[in-house]
Amino acid sequence: MPKYVSWIAIALFALAALLPLIFMVAGSLVVDGRVSLSNYRTLLSDSGQRALLFNSVLLAFGVALGACLIGAPLAFLLQRTDLVFKNYLRYAYLLTLLIPPYMSAVAWIHRLGRYQWLNQFFVNMLGKDEAVLSVYNLPAAIFVLTLYYFPFITLMVESGLQTMNHRLEEAGSLCASPATVLRRITLPLIYPYLASGAIFVFIFAITEYGVPALLGLNVYTVVIFAHFSAYYNEAAATASAMPLVAITVTLVVLQRQLMGNRSYVTMESHTAHPSRIRLGKWQGLGLTFSLCIISLSVVVPIVDLLIGAGSLSTYQVALKTAERQIISSFLLSAVAATLIVILALFIAYFIEKSPGRGGSTIDLLTVLPFAFPATVLGIGLIKTWNRPLTQFIYGTYGIIVIALIARFIPFTIRVISSTLKSLSKNLEEAAGLSEPRWTRNFWKILVPLSRPGLIAGWVIAFILSSGEIGATLLVAPPGEATLPIRIHTLLHYGASKIVCALCVIAIIMTFLPVAILVSCLRRLRKFEGYV
């Protein structure tokens, strides 16, 4: 493939994701038309920034720790033990990703709302002024986000367990107990995957807007949005985000160093299958742990939303209320996911075929947007595209598609890169000798061999796009909105039944195409001998 094709994709990525961030950082240094650090001096002199930073870091650390404590043991149970029903459990825990965090928060708010009598009992009994059972606090936000992000840890650790050298474990088991092998061999080998997954979750949590905003937390993403909405001062809003950005950028660089040339997601395993640990009398405990996690993250939120919605008449009202938003959300997510996969394929190909400094630099640049909060990216997109010459994009759904591309292409590039790493270079070189036209080789060889990664990348991009609210809430054209924005708006008007119904509709809307594609991927992998 000619390099200019990849460079076009890289240029489009820079236009969508990097240029807004550059505008934002540069704009924060300009006050009244002159270069000034006054925004940063104000930031440093503000005593409230310490509490803001503490709350944000505590939220992210709590979520990352909780996700590791749940996700890593679950990955080990699914990969290395004879746990019953584990094939079904593997699909069940992934259903968590179909329920955006703010929808889980809505479900838990509704659940605790049914226990007001219990709150009143404790208030009268203990003499407290505040409710004992409340979801409007930091621990509740950590709980909700942990139950959403733990699958990222499970996926990363599973990938590490699949790709590690199992012969080291077999050799260790000859002279040591299983516990010693786990502590001295297995854990050190999967540590980069676990640490990398924890960093991913930390960044996701610290840049999350929906749940903290819904639960009224005083964290950076909420304050940045409020600051911009109230005063329309993007320079001050950007400056206030810089401590957060400094932390996340540092973690992104650290994450790249940890992973090196490792794969983020394993599409197939080339190593011998390790021996399975027999759980024996611990079988019940392992199954109970797995079912409890899946119940809390999937079953309970969906059941609460169904109860909250009530009768079918509520769904009829919800469909009439948000019919346009439902259709537009589905189409925008599908279009954005398709464009993300196309751009990510060309960029990932360039990174994998450029082992020198050029590929490494592009790899780092493609990760940087991941480090910026969605609200900051949204402000940057406004500053970049809200101009007379670009109103044909800014005033339409096109700006939402650009926002979704900028938000989620970094993760999709990592997924597709994992697939390209496993492809044999000999096939492409042999094809180049027999057929010099790169377009034919691209469609006949590269795309078919990359289909598992392309499908997985599309599914991830579609799921994340369907639930995005931080950036799209800022850039959505006047009078237009996505389904998450409509839900966010209705929440403030107290329309709880309609909100629950719309959440159920959104989950179904995301589940159906994902189920079809996952089924296709499974059939494809069986056909090609991967499983």
Do residues 228 and 375 touch, judged by C-beta distance below 8 A?
Answer: yes
Q: In whole angstroms, what is the distance from residue 284 CA to residue 198 CA?
A: 28
Q: Give the whole-number percent of the chain exceeding pLDDT 70.
A: 87
What tokens does 506 get?
């959104």
Find the range with the poorest average confidence among 86-100, 213-227, 239-253, 267-281: 267-281
Q: In whole angstroms, what is the distance from residue 166 CA to residue 178 CA?
A: 13
Domain count, the chain: 2
Asked if residue 254 is part of any domain, the answer here is: yes
Pair (300, 396) in one structural domain: no
Find the range with the poorest average confidence among 252-261, 303-312, 413-422: 252-261
Asked if residue 394 is part of any domain, the answer here is: yes
With bands split at pLDDT 50, 70 and 90, how would you rate the model's confidence at 228?
confident
Q: Single out the residue of 327, 331, 295 nearest to residue 505, CA to CA.
A: 327
Position with higher pLDDT, 70 vs 86: 70
User: 515: domain CATH number?
Assistant: 1.10.3720.10
Asked if residue 180 is part of any domain, the answer here is: yes
Pair (215, 352) in one structural domain: no
Token look-up 């007001």 returns 116
User: End of a domain among 278, 307, 336?
Assistant: 307
Helix axis angle for 483-491 and 312-353, nearest 10°, is 130
User: End of a domain among 307, 336, 361?
Assistant: 307
Whole-model pTM? Answer: 0.85
The dihedral built from the CA positions of residue 116, 120, 121 and 123, taken in this order, carries a sign that is positive
pLDDT of 270: 47
Asked if residue 195 is part of any domain, the answer here is: yes
Neighbours of 279 (CB within 10 A): 16
pLDDT of 120: 62
Pair (454, 400) in one structural domain: yes
Asked if residue 11 is part of any domain, the answer here is: yes
The per-residue pLDDT for range 316-326, each reduced to its tens digit, is 999 998 999 99
Q: What is the mean pLDDT of the chain?
A: 83
User: End of a domain among 254, 278, 307?
Assistant: 307
The per-residue pLDDT for range 480-524, each reduced to its tens digit, is 888 999 998 888 777 788 999 999 999 999 998 888 887 876 776
Neighbours of 519 (CB within 10 A): 10
Do residues 347 and 405 touch, judged by C-beta distance below 8 A?
Answer: no
Q: Which domain holds residue 197?
A: 49-267+286-307
Please check the confidence at residue 530 and state whether its pLDDT lies above 50: no
pLDDT of 520: 75
What tokens does 188 get?
């050190």
The per-residue pLDDT for range 239-252, each reduced to its tens digit, is 777 888 888 888 88
pLDDT of 502: 93
Beta bridge partners of 277: 81
Q: Is 283 left (phi over 0), alpha (psi -120 to 50) or beta?
A: alpha
What tokens does 519 get?
């089924």
Pair (296, 325) in one structural domain: no
Pair (260, 371) in one structural domain: no
Pair (174, 201) in one structural domain: yes
Q: In whole angstroms, what is the distance from residue 522 CA to residue 531 CA?
A: 9
Please check the confidence at residue 334 and state whether its pLDDT lies above 70: yes
Do residues 382 and 399 touch, judged by C-beta distance below 8 A?
Answer: no
Pair (459, 504) in one structural domain: yes
Position with higher pLDDT, 125 vs 249: 249
Find the range with the poorest average confidence among 48-62, 170-184, 295-309, 373-387: 170-184
Pair (315, 301) in one structural domain: no
Q: In whole angstroms, what is the distance from residue 398 CA to residue 476 CA?
A: 9
Spell 422-458 as b/e; 16+ CB within 10 A means b. Answer: beeeeebeebeeeeeeeeebbeebbeebbbbbbbbbb
Pair (292, 398) in one structural domain: no
Token look-up 């360039």 returns 350
Return the SS3 of 430: helix
Q: How far is CA 102 from the centre of its chain?
A: 13
What stretch of H or E contains 31? strand 30-31
Do residues 200 and 152 touch, judged by C-beta distance below 8 A?
Answer: yes
Pair (191, 248) in one structural domain: yes
pLDDT of 356: 72
Asked if residue 276 is part of any domain, the answer here is: no
Please check the confidence at residue 113 and state whether its pLDDT lies above 70: no
Pair (442, 335) in one structural domain: yes
Do residues 215 and 105 touch, judged by C-beta distance below 8 A?
Answer: yes
> Phi and psi dihedrals of 103, rounded to 5?
-70, -40
pLDDT of 433: 56
Pair (315, 294) in one structural domain: no
Asked if residue 43 is part of any domain, the answer here is: no
Asked if residue 476 is part of any domain, the answer here is: yes
Mean predicted confidence (pLDDT) in 106-118: 71
